[in-house]
Chains A and B, each alone.
Chain A
Amino acid sequence: MVIVGGGGHGLATAYYLATRHGITNVAVLERKYIGAGNSGRNTTIIRSNYGIPEAVRFYQRSLELYQSLEAETERWVMHKQKGLLNLAVSEASLRTERARAAVNAAFGARTDFVTPKECKEICPQLDLTGGGVWPVLGGSYHHEGATARHDRVVWAFAEGAMRRGVHVHQKVAVTGLMKEGDKVTGVETTAGPISAKAVVGAVGGHVTTLAALAGVRLPIRTHPLQAFVTNHYELAFNVIAASPPLLFYMSQTARGEMLIGAEIDRQPSYSYRSGYHFLQNCSQRALTLFPFMRNLRVLRQWTGVCDMSPDYSPIMGLTGVEGFYVTTGWGTWGFKAIPAGGEQMAELVATGKVPELIAPFALDRFAKDRTMADRGSAGTH
């Protein structure tokens, strides 16, 4: 089998093919180096506080696999449970958080609806008045929210897969797909052709181009997403804080930097360029609720390119072309889904049957008018 894309999802798929299904004749092809794309550019948040039942179940599975990942792979990925606080600053967002807590509780994620006083207890740095502009009306607290070191996650899966015989090829780009009739039978690469029973597209950003080689049209637009870190702050910010209506989310890294992300750039683009305007908008909003950051400075800013689906849910599984599978539409929510996405894609490729957990996220849901609308959980719009 061939997996195109050596990021978290591709490597996790290879890892679970090797460990759960004994399939080790697998090549993972990466154009740059493993984790060079969005796996190395995200804000490392792990959570399952989504807004629709199918998503809560899927991300809860992923969150639980993350909790046992260090024990399973025997590699330290710096997984740390911190809890995630979603802050509502409008009546509408307060209703959203109340609904989120109810849906989460019903489908297996631990999320409580909390009052402003409880928000302050969970996160003492919070300014409840919102700078006099956005007073905090309440929120939801997701107990199992966590972070992990993104590239250690990539390496843990890569190493675990390679120890069992999987080949990971870096600096090998896919240039074409081999076909017999309508069926995909392998890939052409810069290092020569590889024939395969199954080709899995686990590419971030450039998936439309790959799928087009197989004749598959995708409902994907590629948008840049920016993030930044500040200089070091005392290790005192113990929670992941986010505000869906204000469009920012932040946590503190193990080094003490405040790591902040916000919304996607409006225009579809493959450009990795980051801009001052984003920095200005994002920090302005973050400062209303967290005035302590006024004294911090921006250390680094960067951009990833994200595959946005129209319903803000992932697209996993069959493509209608035999031998060609995709795991895409990971938009701005891919990191937290790495273990479950890999596990479920591995099961699909190994058994040929679509696992129940990811059946709702199939590509053909758009033609069937069964979209999985969950914009309010993306946190980036």
Chain B
Amino acid sequence: MSLHIPCPNCGSRPVEEFLYGEISTVPDSITDADARDVDRAFMHNNPEGAQIERWFHVFGCRRWLTMRRDTRTDEVIGTSWRGY
């Protein structure tokens, strides 16, 4: 079974209707301004476990939603319109 995303507006829809958007976070431990730019541009947290991410319902209501998902199992923990 492929991933289904519960859109707060449209209900449960297949993942193919959505575009994935990552939330870029630079760790506070990186203090140098150039190093922060490189990290923001290229590096990923890529966590094994719960991740907060943004999805754009491109073939649906065309709104961005926020979702929590477990990357080990693709289990959707929850979605909302709100920020993170």
In the complex, A218 has a CB within 8 A of chain B:
yes
User: In chain B, residues 1-44, which have Cβ atoms closer than 8 Å to a Cβ of chain A?
Assistant: 1-3, 14-16, 19-20, 22, 27, 34-35, 38-39, 41-44
Interface size, B (range): 20 to 34
User: In chain A, residues 331-381, which have Cβ atoms closer than 8 Å to a Cβ of chain B?
Assistant: 366-367
Could you tell me the distance in whole angstroms from the C-beta of A305 to the nearest C-beta in chain B? Answer: 10
Could you tell me the distance in whole angstroms from the C-beta of B37 to the nearest C-beta in chain A? Answer: 9
- Whether the pair B48, A270 counts as a contact (CB closer than 8 A) is yes
> Which of A66-74, A104-112, A158-166, A275-283 makes up part of the contact surface?
A275-283
Contact of A366 among B1, B42, B69 (CB under 8 A): B42
Residues in B with CB closer than 8 Å to A266 are 15, 19-20
- Whether the pair A273, B48 counts as a contact (CB closer than 8 A) is no
Could you tell me the distance in whole angstroms from the C-beta of B75 to the nearest C-beta in chain A? Answer: 9
- Whether the pair A219, B48 counts as a contact (CB closer than 8 A) is no
- Whether the pair A275, B2 counts as a contact (CB closer than 8 A) is yes
With A217-B39, A266-B20, A278-B2 already in contact, the answer to whether A271 and B74 are too (CB < 8 A) is: yes
- Whether the pair A275, B46 counts as a contact (CB closer than 8 A) is no
Residues in A with CB closer than 8 Å to B27 are 217
With A206-B48, A218-B44, A222-B46 already in contact, the answer to whether A269 and B71 are too (CB < 8 A) is: yes
- Whether the pair A273, B39 counts as a contact (CB closer than 8 A) is no
Main secondary structure of the interface of A (DSSP, over half): loop
Could you tell me the distance in whole angstroms from the C-beta of B78 to the nearest C-beta in chain A? Answer: 16
With A270-B72, A271-B74, A276-B1 already in contact, the answer to whether A221 and B44 are too (CB < 8 A) is: yes
In the complex, A243 has a CB within 8 A of chain B:
no
Contact of B14 among A217, A218, A220, A277 (CB under 8 A): A277
- Whether the pair A219, B1 counts as a contact (CB closer than 8 A) is no
User: In chain B, residues 60-84, which have Cβ atoms closer than 8 Å to a Cβ of chain A?
Assistant: 69, 71-74
With A217-B39, A217-B43, A366-B38 already in contact, the answer to whether A273 and B1 are too (CB < 8 A) is: yes
User: In chain A, residues 192-225, which have Cβ atoms closer than 8 Å to a Cβ of chain B?
Assistant: 206, 208-209, 217-222
CB-CB nearest in chain B for A273: B74
CB-CB nearest in chain A for B45: A208
Could you tell me the distance in whole angstroms from the C-beta of A160 to the nearest C-beta in chain B? Answer: 32
In the complex, A130 has a CB within 8 A of chain B:
no
CB-CB nearest in chain B for A310: B42
A251-292: contact bitstring with B at CB < 8 Å (1 yes, 0 no)?
Answer: 000000000000000111111010111100000000000000
Residues in B with CB closer than 8 Å to A275 are 1-3
Could you tell me the distance in whole angstroms from the C-beta of A104 to the nearest C-beta in chain B? Answer: 28
Could you tell me the distance in whole angstroms from the C-beta of A179 to the nearest C-beta in chain B? Answer: 15
Contact of B46 among A220, A271, A277, A367 (CB under 8 A): A220
- Whether the pair B2, A218 counts as a contact (CB closer than 8 A) is no
Contact of B72 among A208, A271, A366 (CB under 8 A): A271
Contact of B15 among A209, A267, A268 (CB under 8 A): A267
- Whether the pair B42, A219 counts as a contact (CB closer than 8 A) is yes
With A206-B48, A219-B42 already in contact, the answer to whether A269 and B2 are too (CB < 8 A) is: no
Could you tell me the distance in whole angstroms from the C-beta of B72 to the nearest C-beta in chain A? Answer: 5
| Interface positions of A (Cβ within 8 A of B) | 206, 208-209, 217-222, 266-271, 273, 275-278, 310, 366-367
A-B contact pairs, 29 of them (CB 8 A): A208-B45, A208-B46, A208-B47, A209-B48, A219-B44, A222-B46, A266-B19, A267-B3, A267-B20, A268-B20, A268-B44, A268-B51, A269-B74, A270-B48, A270-B71, A270-B72, A271-B72, A271-B73, A273-B74, A275-B1, A275-B2, A275-B3, A276-B1, A277-B16, A366-B38, A366-B41, A367-B34, A367-B35, A367-B38
